[in-house]
């Protein structure tokens, strides 16, 4: 057993996120047969991901604030602190902080056969999509 080394907080890239979004890794694979990835992700008010999907799906546990999750059919779900959202494999979606509030969630997913393609990124979410118009 060992205590994991501290990893500095990183700001997520503008190519995949709009607004200020920070990531703190919690768990990353150590061995070839391990695939679990867990991170705390913090969003400034209104900050959001671009459209994306995950090869093996994803769990997101909101730990602070109010989150918004959108799907390609235009549905927006608001998720509050203490609630967990599951997105199935391959489903395109986005996540964000609701307007006017910070949001933090714990992201949990399993890497795919090629960790570099575990998440497939697409275009940025428009203001209209974020606002549900």
Mean pLDDT of 56-82: 97
Mean pLDDT of 44-66: 97
Beta strands in the chain (DSSP E): 10-11, 17-18, 21-27, 36-43, 48-49, 52-54, 58-71, 76-80, 84-87, 93-97, 103-110, 119-121
The pLDDT confidence band at residue 123, using thresholds 50, 70 and 90, is very high
Mean pLDDT of 53-82: 97
Q: How far apart are CA 29 and CA 65, in angstroms?
A: 29
pLDDT of residue 106: 98
132 or 77, which is more confident: 77
Mean pLDDT of 100-120: 93
Mean pLDDT of 47-65: 97
Three-state DSSP state, 115: helix
Residue 36 has pLDDT above 90, yes or no: yes
Mean pLDDT of 24-43: 92
Residue 116 has pLDDT above 90, yes or no: no
């Amino acid at each position: 057993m060992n205590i994991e080394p501290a990893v500095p907080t990183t700001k997520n890239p503008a190519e995949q996120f709009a607004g200020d979004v920070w990531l703190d890794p919690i768990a990353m694979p150590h061995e070839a047969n391990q695939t679990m990835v867990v991170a705390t992700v913090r969003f400034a008010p209104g900050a959001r991901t671009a459209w994306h999907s995950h090869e093996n799906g994803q769990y997101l546990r909101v730990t602070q604030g109010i989150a918004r999750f959108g799907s390609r059919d235009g549905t927006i779900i608001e998720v509050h602190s203490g609630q967990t959202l599951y997105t199935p494999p391959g489903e395109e979606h986005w996540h964000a902080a609701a307007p006017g509030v910070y949001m933090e969630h714990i992201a949990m997913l399993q890497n795919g056969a090629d960790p570099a393609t575990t998440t497939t990124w697409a275009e940025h979410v428009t203001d209209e999509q974020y606002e549900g118009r």
